[in-house]
Amino acid sequence: MQGQVVAVHGRHFLVDGGDGVIECVTRGKKGGVACGDQVTFASTSAGKGVIEATEARRNLLYRSDEFKSKLLAANVDQAAIVVAAVPQFHEELLIRCLVACEVADIPALIVLNKADLPETAALASSLAPYAGLGYSLLLVSAKEDVASLEQRLAGQTTIFVGASGVGKSTLLNRLVPDANATTAAISLALDAGKHTTTHARMFRLPGGGSLIDSPGMQEFGLKHLDQDSLMAAFPEIRERHGQCRFYNCRHLKEPGCSVLEAARDGSILNSRLKVYHSLLAGITSV
């Protein structure tokens, strides 16, 4: 049978086969299944099954460290990166999320939540340059108005990504009225209690489309990148390809570097260049 993975907890998965959702496992120690995956599965008993194969993916968003990879979602149309002025905003996390989306070829939009707070205006101003990089910036309030976000999500499969405390859960509850009930049902089905909050879940949007809620994070590891993919993941670096004095310029301290010159004259954000340098240092011996 064919189905889509709509929830993940360790090696346990909920698969929507069209006629209902069943709990599945994978054979042996095989893993690597993400929320949003299209899979082939076989029934083993009432409400139970085993995943036999994962179909080819359109894309895959994941993060990685020195030891393992964490799959977030597969086959999505876009990623909504949720940020807020409170708690403290960390631009590096936003940049790393955007880099991961670029590498996975997933369009990304920045959702600035908590528009009702006085601190938000300053953050909105500081994020304005991201529009010039091709990223849409939506200003919303989970407590007051999410209309602009609803429009962007309609008919799309979207993954929510963001730090803990930015209001993803509150946004989810506004967008999907029965989200709490669905979450409780998933917890019961997977017999995992509170631990299900640490894994991705898919919700069907009332107006069409799907929303994958991923766990809040404090960091976004990108150990799977190489130098070429890293350079290509920064639009401001990508658009200056071939404009440096040296063809193999890494945009560190080389003379005649168009990227460094742009940073000096304010054409690109120094904060983003700093993160690029940090990521490059983790890939190569700079």
Task: Kindly report, residue by residue over 217-269, the tens digit of the pLDDT.
Answer: 888 999 999 999 999 999 999 999 999 999 999 999 999 999 999 999 999 99
- Model confidence at 185: pLDDT above 60: no
pLDDT at position 189? 58
Q: With 50 as the cut, is the pLDDT of residue 158 above it?
A: yes
Is residue 162 within a helix (H) or strand (E), and if so which, with residue range? strand 157-162
Share of the chain above pLDDT 70, in %: 92
Element (H, E) at 3: strand 2-9
Q: What is the pLDDT of residues 199-211, one digit of tens each?
A: 899 999 998 999 9
Note the pLDDT of residue 197: 45
Least confident range from 145-159, 175-189, 203-217: namely 175-189
* 173, pLDDT greater than 50: yes
Give mean pLDDT, residues 119-134: 96
- Say how far apart CA 95 and CA 112 lie, in whole Å: 14
Task: State the pLDDT at residue 190.
Answer: 56
How many other CB atoms are there within 10 angstroms of residue 45's CB atom? 7
Nearest to 35 by CA among 162, 198, 155: 198
Say yes or no to pLDDT of 149 above 90. Answer: yes
Q: Check residue 194 and give its pLDDT.
A: 39
Assess contact for 124 and 55: CB atoms under 8 A: no
User: Quick one: average pLDDT of 79-88?
Assistant: 95
Per the prediction, the chain carries an average pLDDT of: 91
Q: Which domains are seen in the chain, by residue range? A: 2-54 (2.40.50.140), 60-213 (3.40.50.300), 227-283 (1.10.40.50)
Give yes or no for a contact between 209 and 156, defined as CB atoms under 8 angstroms apart: yes
Q: Is it the case that residue 81 has pLDDT exceeding 90?
A: yes
State residue 225's pLDDT score. Answer: 94
Encode burial over 4-24: b for 16+ CB neighbours within 10 A, e otherwise: bbbbbbeebbbbebeeebbbb
CA 165 vs CA 24, 29, 168, 169: distances in Å: 31, 34, 8, 9
pTM: 0.91
Does the pLDDT value for residue 49 go beyond 90? yes
Number of other residues whose CB lies within 10 A of the CB of residue 195: 12
Higher pLDDT, 178 or 103: 103
Residue 113 predicted with pLDDT over 80: yes
- Checking if the pLDDT of 186 tops 90, the result is no
pLDDT cut 90: percent of the chain above it: 79
More confident call, 200 vs 182:
200
203 membership: H or E segment, kind and range? strand 201-204
**pLDDT at 68 (0 to 100):** 86
